Structure formats: C-alpha cells, structure tokens
Amino acid sequence: MSSTLVGLWFLIAEHMRLGSWDLIKGFAGAEDINPHIAMQIVNEASLCNNRIRKKNYIAHQGFELLNGLSFLASDEQVHHFLNGHTVNQAQLLQESLAIIRHNNGHYKGEVIAIDPHRIVSQTKRIMPRKKKQPKEPSRQMLQTFFSLDAETGQPIGCGIGSPGVNTTKATIELLKMTDKISHNNAIILADKEHFTQKLISQIKESGRFEFLVPVIASERIKKIEQSLDYKSKWAGYYIAETLFSFSVVKTNYRLIVQREGELESQYKYKSFLTISKKPAITLMSELYSKRWSIEEFFNFDGAMGFDRASTFNLNIRYGKMSLALIAQAANYQLRKKLPTPYQNWNAKHLSDAVFNKIDGDIRVKDDTIIITCYNSPKELNLENHYKNLPAKLLREGINPKVPWLFNYKLDFRFK
C-alpha cells in the first residue's frame, strides 16, 4: 500500500513503550472492536484534524490499518462507543496514564500548575454564554480544568466543569489525581478563579500541598495593599507581607503583595495568598512565573483536541480528552528523540512535517510489517531511532509484537 501517512507509524513504537494498548483495553474493554476504535481516536488526535472520518480517502493510505481495522470507524460508531463509557472510567484512564508517565520520567512532581481552560463549543444545546476574554463576545463554552507539571510542561490530567461540578469540586478531583505522582509538599500554582475559601481551606487541611494563588482585587484587598510597608528587591519592584483571613473562617494565611513602579502615580499592585513557608521573593520571582507553562501547553498541544468541543455529552468529552492525553504522551516521547531545534515543534507542525508528509509504502514480510520511508528528512535523525525497531524494543525489555496489529512486528526502512 502506498501512503503519505507512514510517519504516523513511528508512534506505534512510542505507544508500545508507553503501554497504550493496555490502557486502552482497560478503558474500552478487551472484546470486539472497541479498543481498535479507541486507537483510531488516539491517532486522530495526533493528526490534529477535527472529524478526520469525513475524509474517506485516508482509508486508502493505511490509516485504518494503523488501528488494526479494515475500515474507518464512523461518527456514529465513535459516538456510541464513547457514550457507553462513563466519566469515572475516563478518570481512571487518566490516573493510570499519569502513573505510567511518572514512572517514565515525564514529570518532576515538585511544581504543579492548575488552570481553568475555556473551549469554544459548537453544541446545539441551549445554555448560558460566557466570555473567554473580557473584550470578546459571549459564546457557548466548555469549561475544562487542567493539571500540569510546570517544570516539564506535561499534562497530568484534566476535568470538565458542569452545573454539578464547580471550580472547587473540579480542582479537588484534579488534585487527588495529582497527588498520585507529586512529591510531598509540591507547590500548586493556581489562577484567580481558584481564590475560594473552601478550596484553600481544604488544601490546607489535607497537608499534602503548598498553594499559591492570585487574590481577587476587592476593595478590602486594595486597602490592605495601600497600607503596607514595602521592601525594595530591585529598581521598581517591592514586596510586602501580612496575614489575611476570610470573613467566614478566621484561619490566617500569608498575603504577599508585590508593587511595581517608582512613582506613586505609577504603582501597580498584585496580591497572592499562600500556605507555603517559602520566602516571598522565591514564590514571586522564581516559582509563580512557571505557571505560564500551562498556557504554553495549550498553545503547543491544544490542536490535539484540547481546543475544540462539538458536544457537551460528558461521557463523550471525557473519553475524547482522556484518549487525546495518550496521543499527547506518545508525541512527547517521539519529539524528545528529535534534534534540539525540532523538539520545539508544536503538535500541528509535527503532524504536518512528519505524520502527513513522508511518502512510503506498507507491506508484510513473514511476521513483520515493513514501512519504507522514501523522503524522511535526514536532519530529524528518525532512522537512528526506528530502523531495526524489533531489536531496539527487545533491548528495552519490550515485546516487539504489536498486540493491536495481530502480533506482527514492525520495522522501518529508509530510502
């Protein structure tokens, strides 16, 4: 079979290293074609294309074989498959994946960023409209919540907001998952939406995490900011600290305020509440800036399925996002094998340059599927990592037989 999608077959090796098939079978069930449909959803995420099933020509280029099928699963089949699996099953899939990734060194587990992420949705449901940015028009939004290792930039898990799941509840569920891979007293870097008395008190009571969250600028906070004595750290940057308690519960927390500007008319204040004992300057200048790694993740890998939502069916949304996390993990492992300049390719660029643009053919010889790549860019050094793949996998202690491809081995040729 001739194909321009042979680059997507490199991911099979990464899925075997990751143990993706066992994860998928645990979620989809071990019978019938459901695990193969799930593998199709995973590989669609790697292509960064929405509704790939409408492009029927892709079935003649080996995409269906990649999933162990002789056809492309239809929209209806995918809908019924995902709708038949619960939110809890998807959450268990995410937990298992996070533990595997932790064991594979994808996380450091010391600095964790959490963020509420709104995705524009095309759902036909009647529902309240929200603004993603203050100056943008109101739209239908899917509210999601992500947890990410801020030092490696890799996602740990995600959740979805709903009428029954507010920010506090969704965040507590995410932190339970995060707790399985994080170090004791890891610091959680939060967003303003996490500034709630209930969430902060629950994190403090658990004793598992340190916590740093921006404070909403109420009139009370503004008065406190203007009344403090500040210490200069460098030109135009000052820090002050005091105790703060919510009006309902009188537990004291550290309130750290940073002031920017040399002239009083130019002063800009930003306040943070924390349950960490680290020095204020460490929290402000060294740690909180790492929170922006989660925004980089959305920009870097959002096209894999974290920037679109066509339905608000929670079973389907949780299932698709959880399977997309498997695809993201495999892409991360492949990207690490690329030379340094190319490791910075985002998911869409990687799909366009490697998964969609390498010509080749797919054939079977004895017990091995052989992928011949004719125009693989030499500078990507893919030959060094994927030629003689069965022997490489054996040296890593991995069975080279691909379970979802009828236990055929996989190897690559480069011409």
For 158, the token pair is 């995600």
Looking at the predicted structure, is the pLDDT value of residue 275 above 60? yes
Average pLDDT over residues 49-68: 74
DSSP code, position 183: P
Bridge partners, 157 (sequence order): 147
Looking at the predicted structure, is the pLDDT value of residue 49 above 80? no
DSSP code, position 267: -
Residues of 128-160 as b/e, b for ≥16 C-beta within 10 angstroms?
A: eeeeeeeeeeeebbbbbbbbbbbebbbbbbbbb
Distance CA 289, CA 299 (A): 17
Res 191: pLDDT:
93
Burial zone of 299 (CB within 10 Å; 0-12 exposed, 13-18 middle, 19+ buried): exposed
pLDDT tens digits, residue range 122-155? 777 777 677 767 777 887 778 899 999 999 999 9
- 8 A C-beta contact, residue 33 and residue 352: no
Distance CA 29, CA 84 (A): 11
Distance CA 272, CA 321 (A): 31
Res 286: pLDDT:
92
Looking at the predicted structure, is the pLDDT value of residue 62 above 90? no
pLDDT tens digits, residue range 186-240? 999 999 999 999 999 999 998 899 999 999 999 999 999 999 999 999 999 999 9
Q: Is 117 helix (H, G, I), strand (E, B) or coil?
A: strand
DSSP code, position 72: P
Would you place residue 54 in the very low, low, confident or very high pLDDT band (cuts 50, 70, 90)? low
Distance CA 227, CA 152 (A): 39
Would you place residue 252 in the very low, low, confident or very high pLDDT band (cuts 50, 70, 90)? very high
Would you place residue 59 in the very low, low, confident or very high pLDDT band (cuts 50, 70, 90)? low
- The rounded mean pLDDT for the chain is 91
Among 26-40, 57-71, 328-342, the range scoring the smallest mean pLDDT is 57-71
Would you place residue 117 in the very low, low, confident or very high pLDDT band (cuts 50, 70, 90)? confident
Long-range contacts of 183-187 (CB under 8 A, 24+ apart): 183/109, 183/110, 184/208, 185/209, 185/210, 186/109, 186/110, 186/111, 186/112, 186/210, 187/110, 187/111, 187/112, 187/211, 187/212, 187/276, 187/278, 187/287
Res 136: pLDDT:
77
- 8 A C-beta contact, residue 121 and residue 130: no
Q: In what order do the strands lie in the sheet with 368-373?
A: 2-3, 360-365, 368-373, 409-414
For 151, the token pair is 């030092």
Would you place residue 27 in the very low, low, confident or very high pLDDT band (cuts 50, 70, 90)? very high
CATH 3.40.50.720 fits 89-299, yes or no: no
**Residue 279 φ then ψ, to 5°:** -60, 145
Average pLDDT over residues 45-57: 72
Average pLDDT over residues 13-24: 97
Average pLDDT over residues 298-306: 93
Distance CA 169, CA 403 (A): 38
- 8 A C-beta contact, residue 149 and residue 340: no
Among 80-94, 286-300, 306-320, 377-391, the range scoring the smallest mean pLDDT is 306-320
Res 55: pLDDT:
58
Average pLDDT over residues 371-380: 92
Distance CA 357, CA 130 (A): 39
Looking at the predicted structure, is the pLDDT value of residue 52 above 80? no
Q: Tell me where in the chain the CATH 3.90.350.10 domain(s) lie.
A: 89-299
Q: Is 184 helix (H, G, I), strand (E, B) or coil?
A: coil
Among 154-158, 183-187, 382-386, 392-396, the range scoring the smallest mean pLDDT is 183-187
Distance CA 241, CA 245 (A): 13
Q: Vertex 363, ends 29 and 398: CA angle to 5°?
A: 50
DSSP code, position 33: T
Tell me the percentage of the chain whose pLDDT exceeds 70.
96
Cα within 13 Å of Cα(409), Cβ side = 18
Res 241: pLDDT:
96
**Residue 300 φ then ψ, to 5°:** -80, -45
pLDDT tens digits, residue range 155-189? 999 998 876 778 888 899 999 999 999 888 899 99
- pTM, two decimals, is 0.93
Looking at the predicted structure, is the pLDDT value of residue 56 above 60? no
Q: Where are the beta strands (DSSP E) in 161-297?
A: 186-189, 209-214, 231-234, 237-244, 253-260, 268-274
Give the Å distances, CA to CA, from 224 to 217, 270, 351, 402. Answer: 10, 11, 51, 62
Res 310: pLDDT:
75
Res 238: pLDDT:
96
Average pLDDT over residues 273-290: 94
Res 43: pLDDT:
95
Looking at the predicted structure, is the pLDDT value of residue 313 above 90? no
Would you place residue 250 in the very low, low, confident or very high pLDDT band (cuts 50, 70, 90)? confident
